Amino acid sequence: MSSELSGSVAIHCEGLGKRYRVGQRQRYRALRDTISDTLRAPFRFVRQAFTAPIAGERGPEFLWALKDVSLEVRHGEALGIIGRNGAGKSTLLKILSHITKPTEGQAAIRGRVGTLLEVGTGFHPELTGRENIYLNGAILGMKRREIERRFDEIVEFSECGRFLDTPVKHYSSGMYMRLAFAVAAHLDTEILLVDEVLAVGDAAFQKKCLGKMGDVAHQGRTVLFVSHNLVAVESLCTRAVCLHDGKIAMEGPPNVVASRYLKEWIPSSTEIVYDDIATAPGNEMFRLRRACVRPVNGSRSDLITVRTAFAVEFEYWKLVPHSLFLDVYVYNETGILLFNTASFDEPPNPQGLLRSRIVVPGDLLNNGTHCIKFFVSLGGNHVVFEADDLLVFEVHDASSDLRGPYHGAWPGAVRPFVEWDTECIEARGTNDSKRV
């Protein structure tokens, strides 16, 4: 199929779709199963034709993870793919990687493809890091001489040289991720498919990955980059598409697509309430009753501006006598963690219905959409409850007198109100300044 592509097109998808059957696990099929089904097919068709369906019987349910996706990616282009969880982003990359077979449509690819879809995809746990580097290169169709030429760069980037001859099953998830990314990014692939590579690893490693991704994109290699980090998509990609319910909802410049995505599919949710403990989210240790964001000196319906101090409140049933720690993470609309704070339940609070509250001062956050992720852990170690995007709220710009003559977007993740004080150290007369 790759011969059907024009010289400038690296990836061509036409009417691509993937359907899954809900609630039924398909067993492994051998050749004898296929032959047996083929021989039985005519008899099964006749039986179904003369058998009336049972009243009330439900047929199988199907879910289209991807539906009618058509797009072209040119050589040297960096395409960002964004969308909510379950939108079909990972399914699309798995089809392009030949991991999953499409239900309908077709995809044609021209060029050697490297993938980084999950931590250590393609790694053999019993082999050492050194052996897995050569194994991955061989899977990509590279010769041993080509791998050896990049070997030292891969090891240096991964920072795993000390453990290179240790089986990767003994690696931590961070070491696994560093080596997997290093292999995928340094080997000579013409097309690189990356799915949420920044989800694992510390801040230093994420920054290192972004730098390498930028190098790859600027080298003229084709990149498909799936991420929830909209800042990374905008900085690395030349074009972006947004998937929604398995279909391409919009396409265009990354900043335009990201802006529309935030407005149309990230709704505000400043309060949630669960009155019944039996149906409230949680478990036998913790049940959430209510979560709310509101101005400190106002009601939930009042606007929160960049100058407003606001409270984040949680009401919950504590069902165990042990210490339960609460963690709050505040993110901005591009997925950047602004800050986090935690309560330390020592000595343990009593069991029952409790209310915890934090106050975020004004003159701290920038305007835009913000979300709160909430975690509850037992003794600070074992997570017993977590909720992504539990609350989503908007911080609005304040009055124009804070901006002076400036009317553009205020850059930065935070926006503290910092007072300026200017004093004259030495005055010069106007006549002096005009002398030649």
Per-residue model confidence as pLDDT tens digits over 280-327:
999 999 999 999 999 998 877 788 889 999 999 999 999 999 999 999
Q: Are residues 280 and 254 in the same domain?
A: no
pLDDT-derived band at 79, boundaries 50, 70, 90: very high
What integer pLDDT is reported at residue 362 of this predicted model?
93
Instruction: Give the DSSP letter string of 81-92.
Output: EE--TTSSHHHH
pLDDT-derived band at 434, boundaries 50, 70, 90: very low
Q: Are residues 301 and 359 in the same domain?
A: yes
Domain boundary among 211, 243, 265: 265
Residue 417 included in any domain: no
At residue 93, does pLDDT exceed 60?
yes
Residue 319 included in any domain: yes
Q: Please tell me the least confidently modeled range out of 39-48, 78-87, 121-130, 181-190.
A: 39-48
Q: Are residues 244 and 276 in the same domain?
A: no
At residue 258, does pLDDT exceed 80?
yes
At residue 5, does pLDDT exceed 60?
no
Q: Are residues 126 and 221 in the same domain?
A: yes
What integer pLDDT is reported at residue 2 of this predicted model?
41
Region 44-54: what's the mean pLDDT?
Answer: 63
Q: Are residues 248 and 283 in the same domain?
A: no
CA distances from 180 to 6, 59, 100, 193, 350 (A): 32, 42, 21, 13, 46
At residue 223, does pLDDT exceed 60?
yes
Q: How many domains does the chain have?
A: 2
Dist. CA 86–CA 261, nearest whole Å: 15
What integer pLDDT is reported at residue 130 of this predicted model?
93
Dist. CA 183–CA 64, nearest whole Å: 33
Q: Are residues 237 and 322 in the same domain?
A: no
Is 0.75 surpassed by the pTM of this model?
no
What integer pLDDT is reported at residue 16 of this predicted model?
92
Q: Are residues 144 and 253 in the same domain?
A: yes
3-state secondary structure of 128: strand
Residue 306 included in any domain: yes
pLDDT-derived band at 435, boundaries 50, 70, 90: very low
Residue 138 included in any domain: yes
DSSP 269: B
What integer pLDDT is reported at residue 98 of this predicted model?
85
CATH code of the domain covering residue 126:
3.40.50.300
Region 398-403: what's the mean pLDDT?
Answer: 61
pLDDT-derived band at 1, boundaries 50, 70, 90: very low
Residue 242 included in any domain: yes
The three-point CA angle 416-414-330 to 5° equals 125
What integer pLDDT is reported at residue 436 of this predicted model?
42
Q: Are residues 95 and 228 in the same domain?
A: yes
What integer pLDDT is reported at residue 136 of this predicted model?
80
Q: In sequence order, what are the beta bridge partners of 315?
A: 290, 355
Q: Are residues 107 and 251 in the same domain?
A: yes
pLDDT-derived band at 3, boundaries 50, 70, 90: very low
Q: Residue 25 has which token pair? A: 């696990």
Percent of the chain with pLDDT over 70: 83
Region 313-342: what's the mean pLDDT?
Answer: 92
What integer pLDDT is reported at residue 260 of this predicted model?
82
Higher per-residue pLDDT: 71 or 379: 71
Domain boundary among 265, 283, 318: 265
Instruction: Give the DSSP letter string of 272-333.
Output: EE---TTTSSB-SSEEEEEEEEEETTS-TTS-EETT--EEEEEEEEE-SSS-EEEEEEEEET
Domain boundary among 233, 265, 297: 265
CA 374 from centroid of its chain's CA atoms: 17
At residue 430, does pLDDT exceed 50?
yes
At residue 61, does pLDDT exceed 90?
no
Mean model confidence pLDDT for the chain: 82
CATH code of the domain covering residue 349:
2.70.50.60
Q: Are residues 276 and 312 in the same domain?
A: yes
Q: Are residues 261 and 290 in the same domain?
A: no
What integer pLDDT is reported at residue 23 of this predicted model?
63
Region 257-278: what's the mean pLDDT?
Answer: 83
Higher per-residue pLDDT: 281 or 98: 281
3-state secondary structure of 251: strand
At residue 90, does pLDDT exceed 80?
yes
Exposure string of 9-26, with b = 16+ CB inside 10 Å and e = fewer, is: bbbbbeebbbebeeeeee
Residue 218 included in any domain: yes
Percent of the chain with pLDDT over 90: 37
Dist. CA 91–CA 99, nearest whole Å: 9
Q: Please tell me the least confidently modeled range out of 84-88, 184-188, 241-245.
A: 184-188
Residue 49 included in any domain: no
Residue 177 included in any domain: yes
Range of the domain at 108: 2-25+62-265
Per-residue model confidence as pLDDT tens digits over 230-241:
777 887 888 999
Q: Are residues 176 and 83 in the same domain?
A: yes
pLDDT-derived band at 171, boundaries 50, 70, 90: confident
At residue 338, does pLDDT exceed 70?
yes
